[in-house]
C-alpha cells in the first residue's frame, strides 16, 4: 500500500522519509517565478511583507505519484480550501481503479494526523477494505483550529474570500476552525488570549484529553511557550510539532499556529 498526500499536509518529520508515503508539493511563486529559496528564506521574505502565491499540484504530478502496483490511498487538503481534491479525482481516474481518494476536510497538521494514523496501520493484518474504512472515518473525528497572528496575511491571500470582511478589517489575532471550510471563532486583542481560545476549542471539540494532537507553526519564536501552555491545557504533549509548509504558511503568515486533534483512542 502507498499513501499519497500534498504540500498543504504537514506530517511528522520521521514520516516524511517513509517509502510508503509520497508527498506531492504544490508550487510557491514570487513575481511569477518559482520561489527560489528554502524554508528560512521563505519565512524571512514573509516577514518583510512580501507574500508569494501558491498553486496546487498538477493533475500530471498527482497521476505520476499514484503509479503503484498495489493500493494507493490519496489523502489531501480540504476540497473546500484548495483545488487539489478536484485534481486528485481527475488524476485517480487516469491512474486506474487502484486509487482511493479521501478528503481530509483539513490542512496542515490536522490532515497530517490522519496520514500518520493510517500510515501506522499499513502493516497491520487488516484487509484493504477495513483500512480504507478506517481512513474514511478519521475526518469526522478530526478537529483543526488555526491562529492567524497577522490578519494582513489573509488579506493578501487568495483565500481571503473564505471569511467575512469584518474579520479582516481588524488587526487582531484571528482564531479559526477548519472543518472542510473555514469558520471564524474569535478575534482577541492579544496573542495570549488567542492561544487560550485555541486550547478552549480543542478541549471542547476533541474531549478533555484528545487521542492525539499536533501543532504546526509559522516560524514562531514563542513556539516552545505555546506548546507548553497548550500541553497544560490539553493534558498531554503533542504527538509532533513542525514548521508550516510554505503552501499553508503563505496564507496563515508568520507566527501562525495550526492545531489538529483527533478525538477518541488513536495511535499515531
Q: Find how far residue 64's CA is from the centre of its chain.
A: 22
> Residue 147 in contact with residue 174, Cβ under 8 Å?
yes
pLDDT of residue 164: 67
| pLDDT, averaged across the chain | 92
Lowest mean pLDDT among 108-112, 130-134, 166-170: 166-170
Summarize pLDDT for 142-178 with one digit per residue, the tens: 999 999 998 888 877 666 566 767 777 778 999 999 9
pLDDT of residue 154: 80
* pLDDT at 247 > cutoff 80: yes
Which of 25-34, 46-55, 137-146 has maximum average pLDDT? 137-146
β-pairing, 27-30 vs 72-76, is: unpaired
SS3 209: coil
Helix axis angle for 191-206 and 223-234, nearest 10°, is 40
pLDDT of residue 213: 97
Q: What residues does 258 pair with on adjacent strands? A: 146, 216
Check residues 35 and 244 and name the one with the higher pLDDT: 244
What is the DSSP code string of 62-116?
HHHHT--SS-EEEEES-TTT-THHHHHHHHHHHH-TTEEEEE-S--HHHHHHHHH
Asked whether the CA dihedral 171, 53, 85, 202 is positive or negative, the reply is negative
141-262: what fold?
A: Hypothetical Protein Tm841; Chain: A;domain 3 (3.30.1180)
Q: Where in the chain is the domain with CATH 3.40.50.10170?
A: 2-139
Structure-block grid coordinates of residue 238 = 503533542
Q: What value does the mean pLDDT take over residues 28-38?
A: 81
pLDDT of residue 199: 92
| pTM for this predicted structure | 0.94
Q: Where in the chain is the domain with CATH 3.30.1180.10?
A: 141-262
Summarize pLDDT for 181-218 with one digit per residue, the tens: 999 999 999 999 999 999 999 999 987 789 999 999 99
pLDDT of residue 222: 97
How much of the chain, in percent, has pLDDT values that exceed 70?
A: 97
Q: What value does the mean pLDDT take over residues 127-148?
A: 96
Architecture label for domain 2-139: 3-Layer(aba) Sandwich (3.40)
Lowest mean pLDDT among 13-17, 132-136, 254-258: 13-17
Amino acid at each position: 500500500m502507498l499513501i499519497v498526500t500534498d504540500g498543504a499536509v504537514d506530517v511528522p518529520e520521521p514520516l516524511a522519509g517513509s517509502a510508503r508515503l509520497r508527498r506531492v508539493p504544490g508550487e510557491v511563486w514570487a513575481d511569477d517565478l518559482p520561489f527560489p529559496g528554502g524554508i528560512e528564506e521563505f519565512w524571512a521574505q514573509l516577514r518583510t511583507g512580501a507574500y508569494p502565491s501558491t498553486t496546487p499540484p498538477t493533475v500530471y504530478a498527482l497521476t505520476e505519484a499514484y503509479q503503484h502496483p498495489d493500493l494507493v490511498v490519496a489523502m489531501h487538503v480540504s476540497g473546500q480550501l484548495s483545488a487539489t481534491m478536484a485534481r486528485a479525482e481527475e488524476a485517480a481516474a487516469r491512474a486506474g481503479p487502484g486509487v482511493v481518494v479521501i478528503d481530509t476536510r483539513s490542512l496542515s497538521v490536522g490532515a497530517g494526523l490522519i496520514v500518520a494514523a493510517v500510515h501506522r496501520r499499513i502493516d497491520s493484518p487488516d484487509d484493504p477494505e477495513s483500512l480504507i474504512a478506517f481512513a474514511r472515518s478519521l475526518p469526522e473525528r478530526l478537529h483543526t483550529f488555526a491562529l492567524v497572528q497577522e490578519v494582513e496575511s489573509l488579506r493578501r491571500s487568495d483565500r481571503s474570500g473564505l471569511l467575512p470582511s469584518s474579520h479582516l478589517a481588524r488587526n487582531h489575532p484571528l482564531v479559526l476552525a477548519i472543518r472542510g471550510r473555514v469558520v471564524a471563532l474569535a478575534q482577541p486583542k492579544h496573542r495570549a488570549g488567542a492561544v487560550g481560545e485555541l486550547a478552549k476549542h480543542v478541549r471542547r471539540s476533541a474531549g478533555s484529553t484528545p487521542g492525539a494532537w499536533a501543532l504546526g507553526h509559522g516560524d514562531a519564536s514563542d513556539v516552545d511557550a505555546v506548546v507548553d501552555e497548550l500541553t497544560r491545557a490539553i493534558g498531554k504533549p503533542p504527538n509532533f510539532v513542525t514548521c508550516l509548509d510554505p503552501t499553508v504558511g503563505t496564507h496563515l503568515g508568520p507566527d501562525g499556529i495550526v492545531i489538529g486533534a483527533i478525538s477518541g483512542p488513536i495511535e499515531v
